[in-house]
Structures are given as C-alpha cells and as structure tokens.
Amino acid sequence: MKIAFIYDAMYPWVTGGAEKRVYELATRLAHQGHEVHCYSWGWWWPEEEEGDLIYDGIHLHGVGQPMELYQDDKRSIKEALLFAWKLFPVLNRENFDIVDCQGFPFFSCFVAKQHAMRGKSRLVITLLEVWGDYWYQYLGKLGFFGKLVEKVTLHLSNRLISISPKTDRELQKARRVEDAVIIPPGINFQEIREIKGEPKKEVDVIYAGRLINDKRVDLLINSLTHVKESLGKINCLIVGEGPEEENLRELTRQLGLEDSVEFKGFLDEHHDLISCFKSSQIFVLPSQREGFGMVVVEANACGLPVVVIDNPLNAAVDLIENGKNGFVAHASSEDLADKIIKTLKQSKEMEEPCIESARQYDWDEIIQNLEKFYQESLET
C-alpha cells in the first residue's frame, strides 16, 4: 500500500505522544514494504535549505517552515489554519491508497477530505481525543466554534480510528460509527526491557511530559509536602519543559522543596527517559486530560506502578487497574499524596503485574491491526 500520514508535528524533532505514535507506525509500515509518506511542517529543514527527506524509510514532506504549535499555552488556531493552507498544494501532487490524517488540529482533515473526494485516496481519520463540551472550558465563548468544527470533522469519513477506549466512547456519543476501531499507541516492549537504569541514581517519584497547565504538575509538587511530612523525605524528578516551568520552580521554592525536586528538562534520546524510569520507584501523571497516556504504558513496561488523576477527560485512567499496575487518585494534593505513599510502599510487589500489563501494547500486534483496518478501508 501507498500510505500517507498527516500531522503538523513530526518526531523526533517534536517529542510527544501523538508524534511518537505516527513515527512508530510509519517506520514499521515502511519496513514491512509499504511506501509511507508523512506530511508535516519542515522541522528537519536547515534555515538555508528546504526540501523533502527520506528518514528511517519514511518519505517526509515539509509544507513550510515550522511554526509555534502553542500560543498562550493553547494550540494555535493560526498555526492550524496555515498548516492546512500550506498542505493543500503539497498533498495534491500525489495519489495514495490511504491517507491517515490525525484529527487534531482539525483543519488538515478538510484538506485530506477533498483529496479523497477527487479519487486520489481513501481517507482515514485518527482521533486523538474528542472534546465535546470541553471546548467551552478550553476556549470560553469561542468553544462553540471548536465544538462545531470537531463535530463536522467526525462526519468527514466513516473510517475512524480512536486511540483509546475513552476517545471511542466520546466518539460514539457524538456520532454513532459502527466501523470505528480502537488502535492504541504501542511500545517496543523488548527494547524497553533491555535498557538499563542509571547507575548510582535512585528516584522515588518521576514525572515526564510537557510543563503546561493541563498536566497539573503543580498538584504533584503540592502533594509532595504531605508525602515528605509522612515519610520524612522524598525525591522527585521532573522531566520536561514548557511554559509553566518557571511557575513550577517558584512553587517548589515557596514550599521549601528545592532539595526534594529536580527539574531535568527534555531528554534528547528516548532511551535516556527509559533509563530514568528504571532508576525510579513510581511514576506519577497528574494530568487532568490525556488522549491516551502512552507514558503510563512505558513506565509500566519498566516495572513502575503509576498514579493518575481521576477526570472524565483523562483516558489514562483506563490504563490503570487499581492495586495491580497503579492507583487512581482524586484531584487533590492530599489524596494524591496518599496514593503516592501507598504506591511507594507496594512498588516492589507491583513490579511484575506492571510489566505484564504493558506487554499487550507491543507494536507488532498493533501494526497487524492497523494494516487490517487499512485493507478493509480499501475494500469498502
């Protein structure tokens, strides 16, 4: 098959769950003999040179110089519109069997739809999340337009992929689609198992992700005061960068936790993150909103139990079986602290159940399911 993925951010130049998912799927499909193309901003372009690139077997197409994806801690509407505008002429130069367009930001899905209507491809839309009324919380009064565009996007194709059970539930509420499937992100299970932890480095609690409001890292830091009071000491490693970093550092200073919290920034290599996981006891993801929560599966594969926050918008809750591979906490620093303490005390006995929980997300099985869905899309 000749397959195209569309997403405005491209791994490894942009690191995130959605970017990593597209990259892993694309490279594995390419290595199995499919011709795979990815359309994104030209993150790989040196300033003095523009052009396409073959990277890990993928044909990368840059539609323009990269733009900032976020503005005021929110996804930039201007960037999403401009990406769709720039995508139009570039995408229409080629024909494909399948175009798999990531559903967010939405406007590129409309470009992919016209490509399919012209008989140049079959359109598959992968839904990272379905927000519904959350748009009003995200954009205020302008949330009406976000919700409207999302609703229209869900009707652009009958071939829809949800990356989590939560996303599928929200999709079925918004639009009943019998042919929709759940194909989650995956992990290279064996590779993770072979990576070693950092020598002479032991961490009680680790967090990894963007430092933005929705991730609620402030909740984690506040909870550490209760954990320290109970246990006498605690050390926490925060891996990541983002617009909230300085506020979080200031909160750490105000709470007198400078000796307990270390900010590490983003790590250039994924195996370095896995190594940090393996030098830690538990992983805490205090996020109030996750489309899937791949980092939860990666932490479990390292033998780390995970504490997540109960929220209707948090798909990571579906990944946790209380007492087996982690715990679900309420969104309060007191309850989060309680779950952190409980998890730390049980971390050793939860190690093997965590690893077994992660095993089902190995990429080999996920790729088979994706290929089957693509083939069925061509036959319908």
Q: Which domain holds residue 172?
A: 2-186+362-379
pTM of the model: 0.78
All residues at 6 or more sequence positions from 32 whose CB lies less than 8 Å from its CB, including other chains: 367, 371
- In this structure, are 172 and 218 located in the same domain? no
Surface-to-core class of residue 253, CB atoms within 10 Å of its CB (0-12 exposed, 13-18 middle, 19+ buried): exposed
- In this structure, are 250 and 126 located in the same domain? no
- In this structure, are 197 and 176 located in the same domain? no
Here the CATH number for the domain that contains residue 38 is 3.40.50.2000
- In this structure, are 167 and 207 located in the same domain? no
- In this structure, are 94 and 138 located in the same domain? yes
- In this structure, are 80 and 195 located in the same domain? no
- In this structure, are 170 and 54 located in the same domain? yes
pLDDT tens over the chain, length 380 residues = 999 999 999 999 998 888 989 999 999 999 999 999 999 999 999 865 788 999 999 999 999 999 999 887 788 999 999 999 999 999 999 999 999 999 988 999 999 999 999 999 999 999 998 988 889 988 888 899 999 999 999 999 999 999 989 899 999 999 988 889 999 989 999 999 999 887 656 899 999 999 999 999 999 999 999 999 999 999 999 999 999 999 999 999 999 999 999 999 998 888 999 999 999 999 999 999 888 888 999 999 999 999 999 998 899 999 999 999 999 999 999 999 999 999 999 999 999 999 999 999 999 889 999 999 999 999 98
Count: domains in the chain: 2
